Structures are given as structure tokens and as C-alpha cells.
Structure 1
Amino acid sequence: MTFKSILTHIDIDARPDHRFTFALNLADRFDAELACISAAQPFFMIEPSIGPTSGTKIMREELEAIETRQRDLHEQIMQHAPFRNHVSWQTKAADPATFVVENARAADLVVLFDVEKGQALDYRRTVNIGDVLLAAGRPVLLPSASQSSPDARTIVVAWKDTKELRRTIVDAMPLLTSAEDVAVLAIEEGQGVDEKALTDTVRFLTRHSVRARSIVEPRQTGDIGMAIIDVAHRLKADLIVAGAYGHSRFREWVFGGVTRTLLQNNTINRLLSN
């Protein structure tokens, strides 16, 4: 199993260089096709005080601005890959997350980036990553803030015996099989750790030629997600693999959860799947 098609979204308000380089290096590593897309919606909302003619004019001007910016992004990206036939480009004036989900049907892996410093968190112009995780049916790789390509020599699998993690392990197999060390990390909770389930997971990975081992950490006070990140940094891992939204998304938003912590903390590369 490998990644043969990788999809990435280039935000209209972001600098494309580092994002494209990250995605291109990943595609080169797996000899995969790289599909680059970009979508945005106009800011303008028609108000009662604005006549229909004026409203139509403003809407057209905003759409033209989006198209101009998307052409600029394409030119910048092609400067990095002028002769690479496996790189494609597609744009649309649409909701970014919806456009990503539509195109994910032809991808093995989706690469999405956090908003940059100074970039507005406006889901008309950047992707709502949570929406993509729930709807795409594909693993989503979230690069760290440094956007350095993951060697993935040491990987931490945030273990919990859930269907989401089982799915994610299979989705991440191309990276897991090439790693030098895969630590299947269990954080002790109130009922302790199901040792048999943890051992079964390590055995499954070993059968697929993954250099896997288990680690059990006592739960300290605080967020489980941060405990996972702390262990990953301690092991000098550069990728965390985790299932997404084991609880409802609303519950995670209200009470917090591992997925929300991993989405918000970009000090390390993360691969999530639902």
C-alpha cells in the first residue's frame, strides 16, 4: 500500500511557497500525483440598502479578485514545478471545505495547512479542517508550523481501542511501514489500559512489517492531547497518528478532546482520520 494521489488546498490568502514545497516533496517521496486546488467565496453579502444593480457589480468585482489571485497562485506554484506532469491545478469560487471533500474522492491523502500568522480564520477563504475530517473519508495530514517535510522516522500512534484509530492506522500504513520506530502510545485513564487490545494492535502492525512497540504512560492532570504531544516531543517524533472525533464534534467543541487539541497545536505533524 502506498499514496499514489495526494491532494492539497492552497488558501487564497496564504503564501504558497512553503505549502507547495511540503506537498511536492511528499508526492516525490511516494512517486504520487499531486493535485493542488484553491477555492474561496466572496465576502460580499447583499444588504437591503444596496440596490440589485450595485450588489451584482460588487459581487462580480469580488469574484474577479478571487480569480486574479488564483491565477497568481498558479503562476507561483508552476515556478517550482514547471516540467512536472504529475502536478495539477484546479480552482473554483466555492466553499473551500466542500471543494476539498469533492476532490478527495480521487486522492489517497489530503494535506491541509493551518492558517498563517496574520491570516484571518475565515472559512470562506480557508478550509474548515474539522468539516473535511468528518466528510472526506480520507486521511488528513496537517503539517507542523515549520512545514518541514516529515521524515517520519519516529511516529507516535495515539492509541485508543476505537474504530477511528483502526481506520487511521490502515490509512497511515505507507508512513508507518517506512518508519524506524513506531510507538503505540496508551495514556492510562480511570479504567486503566486494555493490555490485550494494545498488544493486538502492536501485533497487527508487526505483521505489516512495521517496527512497532507499545508505551503506557500514566495520565497526569491536564489534557490527554497535550500528554500525547509531550511524549511525541520527548521521543523526538515528527508525526502523530490519531483517530479523529471519537466523541461527537459538538462535545469536543464544548468540553475539549484529543482531536481539538491536535488540531490547535501545530508544533508537530499530525495525521488524522475519521
Structure 2
Amino acid sequence: MHPVKSLLVHLDGTARAEARLRLAHQLASAYRARLTALFAVAPRYPPLLPLAGGVPLVPPPAGIDADHRAHAMATFERARHAGAPECEWLELNGDPVICSFARRALASDLLVLGQRDPGDATGRDVPGDFVECAIIDSGRPALVIPYAGEATAAPQTVLVAWKPTRESARALTAALPFLRGARQVHLVCADQNADYTQSAPLEVPNYLRLHGIEHVREHRWLTERDAGNELLTLAADTGAEMIVMGCYGHSRARELVLGGATRTVLESMTVPALMAH
């Protein structure tokens, strides 16, 4: 398990960007890590212009929305003047923004991203599949912050969703610093080939104990049919302040297909989710 020494937080013009940056500063302080804030949005395109013969003309991009950049920069400056740990500001304004962000993320131990808020119009400058593509394309673990509710850098109750997959294993390893600091760790498993009358695979609690995480409460297995909603319900019932899970999906020709539980959690979560692909 490598320590967290490099954090990358995504900034945009949304109202929730400040909460992401604040949490990233808290994590950087706790881990004594280098923090980079990356302003990354897609350029605006004017409407298509009709041409004779019915072939539309695609105009050049209109550039980055200046108000959204100013809002993100003001958020960054407020944190700096408030005495937050040192943070580097970088910008990506090329197209495609997802590829550029994922390349930068390759050299980071942990990403801090934001759940898409369908009610915030400024979020339209960020591609709708930005979070999942950043996680899948970079292969780096990410802490995804919900657009509503509170987020803490030191969760006291953590819910771990386990499947016998590399995605789940990577998420569990990335979550170890959070799990060591938690007072309660809840474990729930999902596997379409599992015997649902049995407890969690013995190797998972044993692995956690090897890392100093002794008290793990196990719950009944999730059903594959509705694992995402069951996981969110369990998070609410246990008072979890963080969910740990794999991010499942594949990208082909810029088209992303997510696993059902991943999609449900990213759309409906109200607590941070630490995900890895």
C-alpha cells in the first residue's frame, strides 16, 4: 500500500466545486500530500449553421466560459487566503477534456471529483460522463463528492462493497487510510455466483485485520438485480459517511457503458464514494 502523496482535485464553475476543494485541502493536510487543482471544462460550441443543400456548418468552439473560470479561480483564491495548504492551479481547456484530464490523473495517487448536479446549469461545461471516464481511463482511485449533503475527510463509519474483482480490490486498497481511521467498518458483498446464506469471504476480513482494521460488521449479501439501490439503502441505515466500491464499465469509441450498481450510486449517492477501476 503506497501512501497518498499526490492529490488531484477537479475544479469547474459549479457551486459545489468549493466543497470539493475544501475536502481536498483537508486530505492534503492529513496526508502531507501535494495538491493540484485542475480547472477542466469543455469549450462552448455555437449552434450549427445551416448551409445550402442541408449540410450544417460546424463553427469553431466559442472558448471557455469566462464567468465559470472566474468562479473557479475565486474559489481557489479563497482557499489560499484562508490558510489552506499549498495548492497548484492548472488549466485544461482543450478538446477532448476527458482525455486531457485522464492523462494528468495518471501521476496522482487519489482524485477528488464531483457528482454531476442536474440542477446546476454551469455543470453543462463538463461532459456528462466525466467522472466515470476519469476513473476508468486513468485507472486511478477517486473520491467522488455528492452535490448535496456533507463530506468529511475523516469518515467515522465506512461501508465497503466487495465483489471478487480487481476493481473492488483496488478500491479496498485505496480506502485503507480511511478505514484505519474509522470507528465502524461495514462490509457487504455481491457476487452473482455466491451462496447468499454464507458470510463474507474469509479473506476479506482477514485482509482488513492485517492492516489493523479489527472490528468489521458483516451484512447480508446484495442481490445482483438491485445492488445499487440496496447499497444506498444500507449506507443510509448504517449512517455511513463513505462508500467504498469498484467502478465497473467499459469504454468503446467514446461510448461508456456502466455496470448497474455503479450507475445507480453515481446518480443517487448522498455520501462520498471512493471508487476504483
Other-structure match for 1:113: 114
Paired with 1:31 and 1:149, the residues of 2 have a C-alpha distance of 17
Tell me, what secondary structure is at the counterpart of 2:201?
A: helix
Other-structure match for 1:229: 232
- Range with bigger deviation, 11-20 or 33-42: 11-20
Tell me, what secondary structure is at the counterpart of 2:36?
A: strand
Residue pairs, 1:120-139, within 5 angstroms: 122=124, 124=126, 128-139=130-141
Aligned counterpart for 2:171 among listed residues 158, 163, 168: 168
Q: Which amino acid aligns with 2:272?
A: N
Kept in 1, the 8 Å contact 2:154–2:181? The answer is no
Paired with 1:194 and 1:159, the residues of 2 have a C-alpha distance of 16
Other-structure match for 2:76: 77
Q: Which amino acid aligns with 1:70?
A: R
Paired with 2:115 and 2:267, the residues of 1 have a C-alpha distance of 9
Q: Which amino acid aligns with 2:220?
A: E
Q: Which amino acid aligns with 1:242?
A: M
Tell me, what secondary structure is at the counterpart of 1:198?
A: coil
Paired with 1:174 and 1:5, the residues of 2 have a C-alpha distance of 14
Q: In structure 2, do the counterparts of structure 1 residues 120 and 139 end up closer, same or farther at CA, with 3 Å as the change threshold?
A: same
Q: Which amino acid aligns with 1:203?
A: N
Other-structure match for 2:262: 259
Kept in 2, the 8 Å contact 1:66–1:93? The answer is no
Map Cα deviations across residues 112-148 of structure 1 (whole Å, 9 max, x no partner).
1123323266465566112112111110111232243
Other-structure match for 1:178: 181
Q: In structure 2, do the counterparts of structure 1 residues 2 and 186 end up closer, same or farther at CA, with 3 Å as the change threshold?
A: same
Paired with 1:164 and 1:234, the residues of 2 have a C-alpha distance of 25
- Identity in percent: 23
Q: Which amino acid aligns with 2:137?
A: A
Other-structure match for 1:87: 87
Paired with 1:194 and 1:91, the residues of 2 have a C-alpha distance of 51
Paired with 1:217 and 1:15, the residues of 2 have a C-alpha distance of 34
Other-structure match for 2:55: none
Stretches of structure 1 that go unaligned for 5 or more consecutive residues are: none
The size of the alignment, in residue pairs, is 264
Kept in 1, the 8 Å contact 2:171–2:276? The answer is yes
Kept in 1, the 8 Å contact 2:13–2:71? The answer is no
Q: In structure 2, do the counterparts of structure 1 residues 197 and 163 end up closer, same or farther at CA, with 3 Å as the change threshold?
A: farther
Cα RMSD, aligned residues only = 3.2
Question: Does 1:215 pair with 2:187?
Answer: no
Q: Which amino acid aligns with 2:273?
A: R
Paired with 2:129 and 2:188, the residues of 1 have a C-alpha distance of 29
Kept in 2, the 8 Å contact 1:32–1:86? The answer is no
Deviation at 1:186, TM superposition (A): 2.1
TM-score w.r.t. structure 1 length? 0.82
Q: In structure 2, do the counterparts of structure 1 residues 218 and 178 end up closer, same or farther at CA, with 3 Å as the change threshold?
A: closer
Stretches of structure 2 that go unaligned for 5 or more consecutive residues are: 53-57
Other-structure match for 1:66: 65
Other-structure match for 1:268: 271
Map Cα deviations across residues 207-249 of structure 1 (whole Å, 9 max, x no partner).
011234252315579611111121122111111101111x656
Paired with 1:100 and 1:221, the residues of 2 have a C-alpha distance of 32
Kept in 2, the 8 Å contact 1:152–1:175? The answer is yes
Q: Which amino acid aligns with 1:181?
A: Q
Question: Does 1:25 pair with 2:21?
Answer: no
Paired with 1:97 and 1:163, the residues of 2 have a C-alpha distance of 23
Map Cα deviations across residues 137-170 of structure 1 (whole Å, 9 max, x no partner).
1101112322432432111110111121111111
